[in-house]
Chains A and B, each alone.
Chain A
């Protein structure tokens, strides 16, 4: 009897502790999404009159433009994720394995410092550096490398630079976690057994770090896919980012129905990509999430 009561109170406590998080989840994520789902299946028939219909999704598949932007956003996000991984791996390795104590903390701080200012300021910083009358083109002219200043803004490459810079930290942290837990003696043993740098990396380091790599890639991919500011400011007249389309539909076109449908398509895309990434890397969602 006493045992059941203790059990009940244990569960009660658990639910009580979970209640704020559940409220949060339900009130701020599930509810608005249900509302958006309903909205996306509406079509306008007259002023202030709406009917159920699939017109919004038909527009998406019927107008090649939206489809192109959708695919483009996904591809650039994938490239940005891959670049971030390539760049973050040596950094995480240096912090986790090659440095100790103070120096390693300092390196972490260096990665973190850019995040002390807001994303807008960071992006504007890039604009000051890269615009035609900006710092970098001016420097190239002074050094005699180019004759006239070149415009470095408004290219796809500029968007990539901005996206990689913005997401670097979110890759370094999970990578650091998984690399730090790798016992140094395993690496030494691999070398003793005749492995070279490449085989050690391939057979010992990467398999051990895979949950961290997957976790970092998922976070960075989601962040870039949903990024609005970097793509629209650095991309200029050709930026064409899908979140920008969603914003435009909601705010400048007053077409909430279309915007809601786009939002759901983006959600479907990111879920599909995460599922695919987990399948390909052979990881389990729960393992990966415990690393982030």
Chain B
């Protein structure tokens, strides 16, 4: 290559970099100067949450009523925790992990700050859900989360193609290559229950828990030919069910009900061994800048009319009182069909003690590696 050309290009690159660095420095000093002013209930609220959890129209109404802009980053439990861990709790003003994922990461990494209940309209929250979160998300006598949305994980099935009623049916020979699960901990829990064991009871007993997880891992490995793929995100599974490539899968209720609205043959069912109940929360990152805006958002979204709109967007149920009266009638009918005895048979996740996920991780890796 022509060396003069290389030189001029190099100089060009260097020049660009110098400009970039200077620009970065200028930006940095500007943002540092702006920090103290952002503490009032104005400015921007940065939320890290799941898809659909902050509907655009609700965010727009919030901005109109309070003047606070809402910025949303979409994520999942593990990524939320990892991102907050990387910054030691900075970068976001509100996070929405599941209630069983609060206490462990808080003890381990200290990424949240306690909720000041005096600033929250707690009378708007359903008392039993608040009690569940209190039980699982309290560390050192302080509460680190409030309930937001709840639902359950079970089975979606295309009733035109097959009939199943428990997780282990996904391993039936006639469904070879036609089912899917996530390679994540809920799958381990679900299969353990379907095998007649109670993993939650063994949370405190590491050796017994390890042994149980090894059994579950062996089961999943023997079942691997049945799984077409391990799905990573909702749309991957929805597309698999819609296209008919999948006949049945383990999934959460809102995804199943969404499919059901498009195609009545696809149903969400509570498995015989019990659906697994999840509850996502509001949590405050330890170094969030705009705490006032976060509390304003929490109180705003607990209003029954707003909560009902959010529930409709997510396709699940709100933890706010009276929101269920305003819930979409289609959703209520779907709920009644999927859970004939209400939520009685649902198993709620207890808080995960630190270290358990390492055991589960090794098992999940083995399942993935098995041929």
Contact = CB atoms under 8 A, between A and B. Distances in A.
A237 B231 CA distance: 9
B81 A254 contact: yes
Contacts of B184: 252
Q: Looking at chain A, what size class is its interface with the partner chain?
A: 20 to 34
Interface string A72-105: 0000000000000000000000000000000000
Contacts of B174: none
B245 A20 contact: no
Which of A65, A240, A254 gathers the greatest number of chain B CB atoms within 10 Å? A254
A120 interface: no
Nearest to A181: B1
A276 interface: no
Contacts of B369: 65, 68-69, 240
Contact of A47 (B14, B82, B354): B354
B205 interface: no
Given A69-B369, A236-B229, A48 B243 contact: no
A131 B245 contact: yes
Interface of A: 17, 20-21, 23-24, 44, 47-48, 63, 65-66, 68-69, 131-133, 151, 154, 177, 236-238, 240, 245, 248-255, 290
Closest 5 CB pairs between A and B?
A: A252-B78, A20-B17, A236-B229, A133-B243, A253-B361
B18 interface: yes
A236 B361 CA distance: 18
Contacts of A290: 1
B245 A132 contact: yes
15 contacts: A20-B14, A20-B18, A21-B14, A66-B365, A69-B369, A133-B245, A151-B228, A237-B224, A237-B228, A237-B368, A248-B361, A248-B365, A249-B361, A253-B357, A254-B108
A254 B18 contact: no
Interface residues of A, dominant DSSP = helix
A103 to B, nearest CB: 22
B368 A240 contact: yes
Q: Looking at chain B, what size class is its interface with the partner chain?
A: 35 or more
A173 to B, nearest CB: 11
Nearest to B185: A252
A198 to B, nearest CB: 30
B229 A237 contact: yes
A249 B184 CA distance: 13
B254 to A, nearest CB: 22
Interface of B: 1, 11, 14, 17-18, 21, 78-79, 81-82, 85, 105, 107-110, 177, 183-184, 224, 227-230, 243-245, 354-355, 357-358, 361-362, 365-366, 368-369, 371
A45 B358 CA distance: 13
Given A47-B354, A236-B229, A240-B369, A254 B17 contact: no
A254 B357 contact: yes
Given A65-B366, A254-B78, 17 more contacts: A20-B18, A20-B21, A24-B17, A44-B355, A48-B109, A63-B362, A131-B243, A133-B244, A151-B245, A177-B1, A237-B230, A245-B365, A248-B365, A249-B361, A253-B357, A254-B108, A255-B361
Given A48-B108, A133-B245, A238 B371 contact: yes
Contacts of B365: 63, 65-66, 245, 248
A62 to B, nearest CB: 11
A237 B183 CA distance: 9
A24 B224 CA distance: 46
Contacts of A69: 369
Contacts of B362: 63
A255 B230 CA distance: 22
Nearest to B224: A237
Which of A20, A236, A255, A290 gathers the greatest number of chain B CB atoms within 10 Å? A20
Contacts of A24: 17
A20 B361 CA distance: 41
B48 to A, nearest CB: 14
A255 B21 contact: no
Contacts of A65: 365-366, 369
A251 B184 CA distance: 13
Contacts of A47: 107-108, 354
Contacts of B229: 154, 236-237
Contacts of B355: 44
Nearest to A72: B369
Nearest to A64: B369
Contact of B82 (A44, A48, A66, A251): A251
Contacts of A254: 78, 81-82, 85, 105, 108-109, 357
Contacts of B183: 237
Nearest to A177: B1
Nearest to A240: B369
